[in-house]
Amino acid sequence: MKIFLDSVGCRLNQSEIEHMAGQFRMAGHTIVDQAAGADLVVVNTCAVTAEAASDSRQKIRQAHRAGAGDIVVTGCWSTLDAQGAAGLPGVQHVIPNARKDRLVADLLELPEEVFDREPLAREPLPGLHARTRAFIKVQDGCDNHCTFCITRVARGAGRSRPLADVLRDVQAALDGGTQEIVLTGVHLGSWGQDLGTELHLRHLVEALLHHSDVRRLRLSSLEPWDLDEAFFSLWTDARLCRHLHLPLQSGSLATLKRMARKTTPDTFRRLVQTARQVTPEIAITTDVIAGFPGEGDEEFHQSLDFIEAMEFAGGHVFTYSARPGTPAARYPGQVDHAVRKQRSAQIRAALARSAEGYRSGFVGMELPVLWEATDALNDEGWRLQGLTDNYLRVSAYAPANLWNTVNLVRLECTTADGLAGKIVAGVA
């Protein structure tokens, strides 16, 4: 059977479709790069914003128009609106998040034990979801109560995957030639808290660095309140990527309180200062919500001033989207949509300036780059795009397609969203 896997939203969704791909392959099926001609399509949906929910519905409609066979829908949006998902054309099954881990076994009518044996070596998904980096799910669900977030409702309580299972998935990815592992979860920093022992995410990271020959290990989004000074000792191992994504959401104390965030601007600032003292060249990126209910001009400018002062290496800006079922959707003081858009644009401009400042500090340096995308050969050679360990996007030309290899690159100038350079040498 030919199977196409599609996804909207976060790295966790990407990790989940990669895991499904491995199980389908283990059962003897083929993963294809488009819905057209596929016997089965699985769409892993997202509901973090109204736009993400809309994108999810669009993916399903596109698969149907392409002539796909059976369409299976799972993920956060379809969990929250199972009836709406079932009503879309071509949808045969709607699998809630609570059953997602059993999706392949249920669809193929196989016992789960079939997939308990040693996993096949990872193969990158074909097509648009191809990644040199392997996203490894280590945790799901969340026990926080941020008032804007629907993901906690869709994903349920926090649950950690056992260390042995994570190690097995990491090794399967390395066996498939993966150069970089990215650990993902809804609330990644809570890993271990539900396993009955005094475990912390840093223990998982230490174990992976000690028990595997992973070349690069990257952490996805971490809530700032989950980190302590002991955590930063991990960066004595150069294989741990110099990158922290710390969602701020707002630089205003009053707004953070209404969001029920467990941090303040002062504690966030101290955390960033500690990270930069330990690893001076670390990239610190963030998430920000613009136009949260009750955010007046004073709170907005407090937030904007704080964001500018933090000198982030980049970030994502979300125009506040009221999600039914969340406390914030019922708050008074809903900000006018035009004002939300305007504030989003101002924050994006501020983050673009700070990102440019961060990138420009590396012009003239030589850094290893993992190539994750290539364009067709032209007069200058293959155009390569990739990432340094501190999340700088780099482009360069080479006479050969160096996809999924690491090269030392001299960074020569900044570009609109990264840097351009010349390859100096391969990196053993």
Residue whose C-alpha is closest to residue 326's, from 248, 277, 259: 259
In this prediction, residue 204 carries a pLDDT of: 96
Helix (H, G, I), strand (E, B) or coil at 303: helix
Instruction: Report residue 304 as tokens.
Output: 């904007």
Report CA torsion sign: 291, 295, 298, 303. negative
**CA-to-CA distance for 363 and 415, rounded, in angstroms?**
11
Q: What is the pLDDT of residue 405?
A: 94
Residue 102 identity: R
Measured CA to CA, the distance from residue 230 to residue 286 in angstroms comes to 22
Residue 318: closest CA among 339, 344, 343, 294: 344
Q: At what angle do helices 297-310 and 265-278 cross, to 10 degrees?
A: 10
Helical (H) or strand (E) element with 3: strand 2-7
pLDDT confidence of residue 188: 96
User: How many residues are given for the chain?
Assistant: 428
What tens digit of pLDDT does each residue of 133-179 get?
A: 999 999 999 999 999 999 988 999 999 999 999 999 999 999 999 99
Nearest to 396 by CA among 376, 422, 363, 367: 422
pLDDT band at 10 (very low <50, low <70, confident <90, very high): confident
pLDDT, one tens digit per residue, over 53-74 is 999 999 999 999 999 989 999 9
Q: What pLDDT, on the 0 to 100 scale, is given for residue 99?
A: 93
Q: What is the pLDDT of residue 313?
A: 98
Give the Cβ contact number of residue 209 at 10 Å: 16
pLDDT at residue 294, rounded to an integer: 97
For residue 277, give Cα distances in angstroms to 136, 236, 240, 274: 29, 13, 16, 5
Alpha carbon distances (Å) from 202 to 183, 217, 218, 225, 306: 12, 12, 12, 14, 29
Which residues have a Cβ under 8 Å from the Cβ of 181 and sit 6 or more positions away?
A: 133, 134, 136, 170, 173, 174, 208, 214, 216, 217, 218
Q: What is the pLDDT of residue 9?
A: 84
pLDDT tens digits, one per residue of 272-298: 999 999 999 999 999 999 999 999 999
pLDDT surpassing 70 at residue 428: no
Over range 415-425, report the average pLDDT.
Answer: 93
Give the distance from CA 42 to its chain's centroid.
Answer: 19
pLDDT of residue 381: 86
Strands 366-374 and 382-387: what pairing?
Answer: antiparallel
Per-residue pLDDT band at 421 (split at 50, 70, 90): very high
Could you tell me if 339 and 294 are in contact, meaning their C-beta atoms sit under 8 angstroms apart? no
**What is the pLDDT at residue 125?**
81
Say what the pLDDT of residue 119 is. Answer: 77
Whether 34 has a pLDDT exceeding 70, the answer reads yes
- Identify the structural domains of the chain with CATH numbers, from first to last: 1-126 (3.40.50.12160), 366-426 (2.40.50)
Question: CA–CA separation, 248 vs 18, rounded Å?
Answer: 29
Rg over alpha carbons for the chain, rounded to the nearest Å, is 22
The pLDDT score that the predictor gives to residue 426 is 79
d(CA 139, CA 117): 21
> 171-182 burial by CB neighbour count: b if 16+ within 10 A, else e?
bbbbeeebbbbb
Q: Where are the beta strands (DSSP E) in 258-381?
A: 283-290, 314-319, 366-374
CA distance 308 to 354: 7
Query: Quick one: pLDDT at residue 126?
Result: 81
In angstroms, the Cα distances linking 46 to 81, 88, 230 are 11, 16, 34
CA distances from 75 to 32, 81, 91, 261 (A): 20, 10, 14, 25
Structural tokens at position 192:
């271990």
Asked whether the whole model's pTM tops 0.85, one would answer yes
Instruction: Please name which of 83, 82, 135, 75 lies closest in space to residue 100, comparing C-alpha atoms.
Output: 75
Q: How far is CA 418 from CA 342, 345, 414, in A?
A: 25, 20, 6
The CA-CA-CA angle for residues 390, 132, 152, to 5°, reads 75
Token pair recorded at residue 128? 């648009």
> Residue 76's pLDDT is what?
95
pLDDT band at 425 (very low <50, low <70, confident <90, very high): confident
What's 72's DSSP letter? E
Mean pLDDT of the chain: 93
- Mean pLDDT is lowest, of 257-261, 380-384, 419-423, for 380-384
The confidence score (pLDDT) of residue 361 equals 97
